[in-house]
Amino acid sequence: MNGGLGRIFKEHPDRRYIMFGGKGGLGKTTFSAATAYYLAQQGHRVLVFSVDPQASLSDIFQRDIFGKGPVEILPNLYAQEIDADKRIKAYQEEIRKKIFDMYGFDKIPDEIESYIQAAAAEPAMEESAIFDEVVDIVVAGNYDYYIYDLVPLGHALYYLSMASVYDEWIERITKLREDMRQYEEMAAAIGKDKELEEDMILKELQYIKHRISTSSGILTDREKTAFFFVIIPEEMILIDTQKAAQLFAKFNVPLSGYVVNRVIPESLASQDIPEYLRNRLQMQKGYLKKIQELFGNEVLAQVPEFERDITGLPMIQKMAEAMFGTGR
Amino acid sequence: MGDEEKRGIFGSLKDKFKDYIYGMAAHEMTRQALKTRGSMEHLFILITMGDLLGVPILPPYYSLRLLPYVVPQISTWKRRMLREKDLTDALA
């Protein structure tokens, strides 16, 4: 079973967008970092970035990378944490500047200014801003692999549904805008009006549509994207993951397999261990069996519970070896 | 009377005649098309900028991009959306 993960990467070299999803605290960031480490060691140029406003890549790499753009951790290995606030502020400023340029106001009208501020306070704003920055990162195409350190399940679903909601919404208003255009053309043709100006709004809408379809396109691209679920041998996690897997399938996310984290080494059973640990081992055995029944071949790796938490490069390296095996 | 002048008179007559025909036949159509376009414009602003009226319709990130283009319409649009309807609406 172990080594399956490495095999998947070798068999599908076109899958350049790698995502680990799962409930909070199961090890998505750990796996993202370790996978990035492994791929960089293989000679690929890798960027691991976080789409979570509460990112923890800084913690795992033990370096403050928040809002600093892509930071080189090791040769070929880059990490990035997006500062959503900074992006939103810059974006608001861009909008204000555009209004100044277009109308030559001395000051933004109060009504407009309060709208700009209120919009930035919306709860969805951070996610949307990150979503938008990810498009920039990916479109730039500076890396061989992009590893998304995803948000916990609920949010990830929100993120995915946002893509499809946006997609549909934009589709409709673009259509409305085009209809409006037709009436305008009609009026211009019948009347003896001047040349029509270019519809800037329609142009903006098409731009927005293009960005959204780029990012939702990646999330659902079977050739280029691999999505792995992180699970641990516990009942609730298994139930939730099954539900989530169905939902993800609905959004056409290409599920590539499961990675089991936090497996207490079975070799401990033969040692002199307390009853407490023996019970946990017993319980785990049941759930590992269940995992095998549920997911079978799709289980790509089992990773042990380590003696300490995974932070810093030496531990990340150990984790990468556990996930992918030491053999090259 | 020179040729030039003649053409001038006929030319302006021709223009007048064109305006006359346009007024009779096409002006109403043009007006109607522009009116429909105007209503659609308001509908468009409503579905993209609805938050301005307190109607949250969309994640606002991208709708903010459209804001600069609708600045001039915002005040008339709000008036139109919020005013009460009366009999004269039917006549308009």
C-alpha closest to that of B58 among A257, A167, A197, A105:
A167
Predicted confidence (pLDDT) at residue A189 exceeds the cutoff of 80: no
Residue range A17-27: mean pLDDT, rounded? 89
Contact status of A177 with chain B (Cβ, < 8 Å) = yes
CB contact under 8 A, A95 and B47: no
Task: Give the pLDDT confidence score for residue A328 in this predicted structure.
Answer: 43
Predicted confidence (pLDDT) at residue B45 exceeds the cutoff of 80: no
C-beta separation of B67 from A115 below 8 A: yes
CB contact under 8 A, A125 and B74: no
Nearest CB to A125; choose among B37, B60, B71: B60
Task: Give the pLDDT confidence score for residue A213 in this predicted structure.
Answer: 78
Residues 6+ apart with CB under 8 A from A66: A55, A58, A81, A83
Strand order in the sheet with A299-304: A71-74, A77-81, A46-50, A145-149, A17-21, A225-231, A255-263, A299-304
Highest mean pLDDT among A3-7, A10-14, A52-56, B83-87: A10-14
Q: By percentage, how much of chain A surpasses pLDDT 70?
A: 92
Picking from A103, A201, A213 by the largest number of B CB atoms within 10 A of its own CB, the best residue to mutate is A201
Predicted confidence (pLDDT) at residue A193 exceeds the cutoff of 60: no
If DSSP codes are grouped into helix, strand and coil, which group holds residue A234? coil
Contact status of B36 with chain A (Cβ, < 8 Å) = yes
**Furthest CA-CA distance within chain A:** 95
Contact status of B62 with chain A (Cβ, < 8 Å) = yes
User: Taking CB atoms and an 8 Å cutoff, what residues of chain A touch B39?
Assistant: none
Q: Write out the residue range of the structural domain in which residue B15 sits.
A: 3-91
Say if residue A21 is exposed, middle or buried (CB neighbours under 10 Å; 0-12, 13-18, 19+): buried
Q: Helix B60-82 to helix A110-121 angle, to the nearest 10 degrees?
A: 140
Tell me which residue has tokens 């049941």.
A286
Q: How confident is the model at residue B3 (pLDDT cuts 50, 70, 90)?
A: low
Enter the DSSP assignment of A274: -
CB contact under 8 A, A208 and B34: no
Sequence letter at residue A135: V
Task: Give the pLDDT confidence score for residue A163 in this predicted structure.
Answer: 67
Residues 6+ apart with CB under 8 A from A268: A277, A281
Domain count within chain B: 1
Minimum Cα–Cα distance from B37: chain A residue: A180
Give pTM, 2 decimals: 0.79
Radius of gyration for chain B, computed over Cα atoms and rounded to the nearest angstrom = 22
User: Taking CB atoms and an 8 Å cutoff, what residues of chain B touch A179?
Assistant: 40
Predicted confidence (pLDDT) at residue A84 exceeds the cutoff of 60: yes
Highest mean pLDDT among A58-67, B15-24, B48-57: A58-67
Q: How confident is the model at residue A259 (pLDDT cuts 50, 70, 90)?
A: very high
Radius of gyration for chain A, computed over Cα atoms and rounded to the nearest angstrom = 24
Helical H segments across chain A, by residue range = 4-11, 28-41, 57-61, 84-103, 110-121, 124-140, 153-190, 200-219, 235-250, 275-295, 313-324
Q: What is the mean pLDDT of chain A?
A: 87
CB contact under 8 A, A208 and B62: yes
* CA-to-CA dists, residue A23 to A32, A150, A190, angstroms: 14, 10, 61
Task: Give the pLDDT confidence score for residue A185 in this predicted structure.
Answer: 82
Checking ipTM against 0.85, whether it exceeds it is: no
CB contact under 8 A, A128 and B61: yes
In chain A, the domains with their CATH numbers are 4-86+124-157+229-324 (3.40.50.300)
Number of Cβ within a 10 Å radius of residue A128? 23
C-beta separation of A57 from A50 below 8 A: yes
Residue range B15-23: mean pLDDT, rounded? 81
Picking from A115, A172, A207 by the largest number of B CB atoms within 10 A of its own CB, the best residue to mutate is A115
Q: Helix B27-49 to helix A153-190 angle, to the nearest 10 degrees?
A: 170
